[in-house]
Amino acid sequence: MIDLHTHTLFSDGVLLPAELVQRANNAGYRAIALTDHMDMSNLDFVIPRLVEASKALSESTPLQVIPGAELTHVPPKLIGGLVKKARSLGAAIVVVHGETITEPVLPGTNRAGIESGADILSHPGMITLEDAALAQKNGVALEITSRKGHSLTNGHVAKMAMVTGASMVINTDSHAPEDLISRERAELILRACGIPEENLNTIFANSQKLADKTGRS
């Protein structure tokens, strides 16, 4: 399993980076990205610490540990600048918190995240066909999630991605150890949202490509 969307004690997760990585290692993960919730107030504080932790943990465990960020509830007009800043601080995977139907995310966030060139648009809710097509053009992956609540629109996201050819990845959005999932569970979630069996390996390969792009942190 490669999981490119997780949270630690640096935002609203319950585990330190070291424990989250060890839990993921014990669960059979091959790579994990630490993508705590961030906005303009904490980006410059959290990312350097995740970079330091990721480097040390990658050198000490079999996992590839990737420092990242999830820009969360940021006003759309500020997203592009913060994506660039996150990358400059060392975030190797940048996720934008999409327009999930379970939270009051500002309209236009999906579009801004896609236009910003983020790596992943997480739980994008009732994403439009137009935005999914732009994600395909810009190379932004749309997330299928195992996270309760956010997963309610997985079927719609999968449909929009398959119609437009947009890339998909599957992540957990883990906040606690019980949120981590196996490859088998991930396959079940993908099939449940209407993705054909023959397409499952492509989705896992998309995550692998993103992890490979970052190198070992």
13 φ/ψ angles, rounded to the nearest 5 degrees: -80, 170
Sequence-ordered list of residues with C-beta below 8 angstroms from that of 30, at least 6 positions apart, any chain: 1, 2, 62, 63, 64, 211
Q: Please state the domain count of the chain.
A: 1
pTM of the model: 0.97
List the chain pLDDT tens, one digit each, 217 residues: 999 999 999 999 999 999 999 999 999 999 999 999 999 999 999 999 999 999 999 999 999 999 999 999 999 999 999 999 999 999 999 999 999 999 999 999 999 999 999 999 999 999 999 999 999 999 999 999 999 999 999 999 999 999 999 999 999 999 999 999 999 999 999 999 999 999 999 999 999 999 999 974 4
Please measure the distance between the N-terminal and C-terminal CA atoms of the chain and give it in whole angstroms.
Answer: 18
In angstroms, the CA 54 to CA 17 distance is 8
**Running DSSP on this structure, what letter comes out for residue 86?**
H
Range of the domain at 147: 2-214
DSSP state letters, 102-163: TTTPPTTHHHHHHHTT-SEEES--S--HHHHHHHHHHTPEEEEE-STTGGGGHHHHHHHHHH
191 φ/ψ angles, rounded to the nearest 5 degrees: -65, -35
Category of 117 on φ-ψ map: left (φ > 0), alpha (ψ -120 to 50) or beta: left
SS3 38: strand
What is the CATH number for 27? 3.20.20.140
Q: Which residues pair with 190 in a beta bridge?
A: none
> What's the confidence (pLDDT) of residue 217?
40
In angstroms, the CA 155 to CA 63 distance is 30
